[in-house]
């Protein structure tokens, strides 16, 4: 437990993410290198091990693809900003989102629209809505929370996303291990959706918070501080990567198409790239049924679904971001806003903004790899999976998934570790299909909840970056909301579900509890002054 605990504790104490992750990796490598009492030798070997670990993570095709697509999307965002597209889009949204309530709800809705990938969600929605939120004196922390809470929770629920392939394969393998070969992973996945209580409740909570304007914990303080800003005052976020210093080229005509076309290219290009990646992977594979499907009905629902499930998300997003970059450069040059040299220079400048995010991601992945080597997840599973009453098992699986995900910073890894253990355990405790489905849902949602809270999670890091919010501030303000929603998910969702209470009773009750809980623990942050300014 020491490496993740050291990294997480240091992150909160020092507010220095890079330093904290580096020390966490060093502690893990030191533990792996210790063979005798020679501390100096072990420390030297641990330092050398960090270099090897970081290079190994960078050499992983998935990780390399994610870093490259982040860099390219950073370049696209900077070009969109220089062309005035971001400002024009912000002005357009400002007319409709003329109150903080509407702005938060529009951000939530846009998050639902970018359902297919959590990384794309974090990198697209934050930069679009940040100027609108700043104008309406909504804190960057609240923006980052909404962006983060509509990233993995949406992608994990969507039946067409970059998550679906992993989720379905893990579910299918788990049920095969208990001898149930007559069920499909997709069929079970669909049945888990109503029981994905944390995902559903966090989306409901965002709407309640936006409509009531009630906040609690550090988020309330952040919102009050944002409210005290003078109208038009520049927002300064220390240690927050972003595009705040970039301004449109002087004298150009602002057009929303300078934002819509590159972003649309990115989204549509990503979906096409996902399909093509999966299509070619299936044709190059050995599953004759899927190959026949691709030859006979490649554009049917099943064909599209299977192709997306088999796609390589990191490569597809990189390809889409590269295409969007080319489109943005061509648009800037064609409209004579920038010369070809200036356009490429601005594109590279946008990438430089993302470099610190790449460093953080590499260290986070390195920490995850070290944690795997020292056996953190296996230890947690061994300690917590003892004899328990059946009705508690879904809640325990949810909590166990959250702990592993929080400590390792990865929902994917947590699902992969826990699913093969949870399904056989659930079936052994209570051989009932609905009960096992509820426990399966607990794995998927617990992993997302822990990932949502963890300061070393890549989606948490990207949400901070996309919103230009200090990373530790984002974690500190978000974790109170996530814990509150998780408590409701356990008390109103998983414990009753373990006792046989159907989901259509739990969800309405939980909505009421979320509303009154927010009213009891929270306080309304007054927006009257801002609302009147925007409407007059």
Q: What is the pLDDT of residues 158-201, one digit of tens each?
A: 876 657 766 877 787 788 878 877 777 777 888 899 999 999 99
Which residue would you say has higher pLDDT here, 407 or 330? 330
- DSSP string of 498-525? HTT--HHHHHHHHHHHHHHHHHHH-EE-
pLDDT of residue 531: 43
CA dihedral 382, 386, 392, 394 (to 10 degrees): 30
Q: How far apart are CA 317 and CA 68, in angstroms?
A: 9
* DSSP state, residue 491: I
**For residue 83, is pLDDT > 60?**
yes
Token pair of 93, please? 């949204």
Residue 58: band (very low, low, confident or very high) from pLDDT cuts 50, 70, 90? confident
Residue 512: band (very low, low, confident or very high) from pLDDT cuts 50, 70, 90? very high
Token pair of 187, please? 């069929």
Contact 124, 466 (CB under 8 A): yes
Q: Where are the alpha helices (DSSP H) in 177-309?
A: 185-192, 197-212, 218-227, 257-283, 288-296, 301-309
Q: What is the pLDDT of residues 420-435, one digit of tens each?
A: 778 888 887 788 899 9
Nearest Cα residue to 80 out of 240, 208, 265, 297: 265
pLDDT of residue 61: 82
**For residue 536, is pLDDT > 60?**
no
Q: What is the pLDDT of residues 258-287, one digit of tens each?
A: 888 988 898 888 888 888 888 888 888 888
Helix (H, G, I), strand (E, B) or coil at 215: strand
């Amino acid at each position: 437990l020491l490496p993740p605990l050291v990294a997480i504790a240091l992150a909160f104490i020092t507010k220095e993410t890079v330093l904290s992750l580096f020390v966490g990796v060093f502690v893990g490598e030191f533990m792996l290198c210790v063979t005798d009492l020679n501390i100096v030798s072990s420390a030297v070997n641990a330092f050398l091990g960090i270099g090897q670990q970081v290079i190994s993570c960078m050499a992983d095709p998935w990780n390399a693809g994610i870093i490259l697509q982040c860099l390219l999307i950073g370049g696209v965002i900077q070009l969109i900003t220089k062309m005035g597209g971001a400002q024009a889009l912000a002005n357009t949204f400002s007319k409709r989102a003329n109150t903080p309530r509407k702005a938060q709800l529009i951000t939530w809705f846009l998050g639902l629209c970018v359902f297919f990938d959590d990384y794309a969600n974090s990198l697209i929605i934050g930069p679009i809505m940040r100027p609108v939120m700043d104008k309406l004196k909504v804190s960057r922390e609240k923006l980052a929370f909404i962006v983060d809470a509509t990233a993995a929770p949406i992608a994990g629920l969507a039946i067409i996303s970059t998550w679906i392939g992993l989720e379905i394969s893990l579910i299918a393998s788990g049920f095969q291990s208990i001898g149930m070969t007559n069920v499909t992973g997709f069929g079970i996945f669909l049945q888990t959706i109503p029981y994905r209580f944390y995902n559903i409740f966090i989306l409901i909570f965002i709407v309640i918070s936006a409509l009531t304007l009630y906040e609690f914990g550090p988020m309330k303080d952040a919102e009050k501080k944002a409210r005290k800003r003078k109208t038009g005052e520049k927002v300064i976020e220390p240690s927050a990567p972003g595009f705040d210093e970039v301004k449109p080229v002087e004298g150009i005509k602002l057009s929303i198409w300078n934002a819509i076309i590159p972003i649309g290219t990115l989204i549509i290009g990503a979906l096409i790239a996902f399909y093509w990646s999966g299509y070619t992977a299936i044709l190059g594979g050995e599953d004759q049924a899927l190959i026949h499907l691709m030859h006979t009905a490649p554009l049917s629902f099943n064909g599209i679904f299977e192709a997306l499930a088999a796609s390589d998300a990191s490569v597809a997003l990189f390809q889409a971001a590269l295409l969007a970059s080319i489109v943005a450069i061509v648009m800037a040059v064609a409209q004579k806003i920038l010369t070809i040299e200036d356009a490429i220079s601005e594109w590279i400048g946008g990438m430089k903004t993302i470099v610190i995010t790449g460093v953080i991601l590499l260290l986070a992945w390195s920490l995850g790899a070290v944690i795997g080597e020292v056996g953190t997840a296996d230890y947690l599973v061994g300690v917590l999976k003892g004899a328990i009453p059946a009705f508690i098992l879904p809640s325990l699986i949810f909590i166990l998934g959250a702990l592993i995900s929080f400590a390792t910073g990865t929902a994917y890894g947590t699902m992969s570790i826990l699913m093969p253990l949870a399904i056989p355990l659930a079936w052994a405790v209570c051989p009932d299909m609905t009960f096992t489905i509820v426990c399966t849902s607990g794995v998927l949602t617990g992993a997302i909840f822990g990932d949502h809270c963890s300061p070393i999670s890549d989606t948490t890091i990207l949400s901070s970056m996309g919103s230009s919010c200090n990373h530790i501030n984002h974690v500190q303000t978000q974790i109170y909301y996530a814990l509150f929603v998780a408590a409701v998910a356990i008390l109103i969702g998983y414990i009753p579900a373990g006792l046989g209470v159907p989901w259509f009773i739990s969800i309405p009750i939980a909505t009421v509890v979320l509303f009154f809980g927010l009213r009891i623990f929270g306080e309304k942050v007054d927006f009257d002054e801002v609302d009147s300014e925007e409407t007059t």
